[in-house]
Amino acid sequence: MNTRRLGSLEVSALGLGCMGMSSFYGSADEGEAIATIQRALEIGVNFLDTAQLYGPMTNESLIGEAIKGHRDEYVIATKFARRIGPDTVAGDMSTLGPVDGSAEYVRSSVEGSLKRLGTDYIDLYYQHRVDPNVPIEETIDAMAELVQQGKVRHIGLSEAAPETIRRAHAVHPITALQSEYSLWSRDVEVEILPTCRELGIGFVPYSPLGRGFLSGRFTSPDELDEGDFRRSGPRFTGENLDANLKLAAKLAEIANEKGITPAQLAIAWVLAKGDDLVPIPGTKRRTYLEQNAAAVDIMLTPEEIARIEAELPQAAGERYNEVGMAAINL
């Protein structure tokens, strides 16, 4: 597998999103999840994406378990945002506190992540959501201290607004911005991606498969587990779902003509948008991991890219519900 650069950090051209192994996307088989993380390294995918939020906390512990004996061969990205306090119970989202970007919380939260991951350094530490009540300078200053202490090697932001990115980067170099980017979520092309490029910040597109929808796997929310976060997602329900099924069908038609899967086409499209992008498709299983990794060898011509973009309808519906939308682009 080729590598790419996110600012000064070198990683495999494709990462592995580990969120669904522990949260948001229904049940998962722990043994298969661990095998997937280990298989990733064997096929050259060394860039793992997790967060304190995933579980909460259980996903970091799962990764700690899976990487034992091979820590230095992986590049591990994790994130903090919502306060984990003395009453927070691993695996119980309702026990998490609000987003906290204070220097005091940055200093304490990293210790928990290091412990759960079983490591003494984090390669890339992101603020998962900007705290509107704390100046970004305070948060980044505290994250920079972690770099000086050797606990963190690079720092990043997720779903931050252009002005916040600029202010943050003025305090300490930001290595990567992680935000949603895929064929059905292209709003970052307007201002966010150009801002990252101007400042030399790498970009990590999350949910490059449109949370799985672009793979053509889902036709109804009823196919998803009871606790699956997507069951009530604006794009997975009602009239939006009907419109989005046409988008998935179109993608499948073009993929079919090329003799690849729709998921591979969706990943190849993101990869083709620039060498400074490292998508992190999520999966809980080795079969999808291997299919997705093969997408790095699929080259799309400029004509194919233009056709895909022209023929695919816009996604219907917001990316998140009202609460989720209020927490992004801050």
Ligand X SMILES: NC(=O)c1ccc[n+]([C@@H]2O[C@H](COP(=O)([O-])OP(=O)(O)OC[C@H]3O[C@@H](n4cnc5c(N)ncnc54)[C@H](OP(=O)(O)O)[C@@H]3O)[C@@H](O)[C@H]2O)c1
Footprint of ligand X on this chain (CB under 6 A)?
A: 17-20, 25, 49, 128, 158-159, 178, 206-212, 215, 217, 263, 280-285, 288, 291-292
SS3 content of the chain, % helix, strand, coil (to 5): 45, 15, 40
Catalytic choice (25, 54, 105, 181): 54
Name the CA dihedral angle for 205, 207, 213, 216, rounded to a multiple of 10 degrees.
60
Instruction: Output 103 or 320, the one with its CB closest to ligand X.
Output: 320
Write down how long the chain is: 330
Helix (H) / strand (E) element for 307: namely: helix 302-311
CB of 238 to ligand X, least distance (A): 20
Dihedral of the CA atoms 30, 33, 38, 40 (nearest 10)? Answer: 180
Minimum Å gap between C-beta 235 and ligand X is: 12
CB of 280 to ligand X, least distance (A): 5
> Of 259 and 302, which CB lies nearer to ligand X in the complex structure?
259
Pick between residue 226 and residue 303 the one whose CB is nearest to ligand X: 226
Find how far residue 285's CA is from the centre of its chain.
Answer: 17
Least CB distance from residue 289 to ligand X, whole Å?
8
Considering only CA atoms, which of 268, 244, 265 is closest in space to residue 318?
A: 244
Residue keyed to tokens 């910040």: 201
Q: Is 125 marked active-site?
A: no
Residue with tokens 């095998």: 35
Nearer of residues 134 and 224 to ligand X, judged by Cβ: 224
Cα–Cα distance, 157 to 129 (Å, whole number): 7
Q: Nearest-CA neighbor of 270 among 204, 328, 315, 218?
A: 204
- Active-site residues: which are they? 54
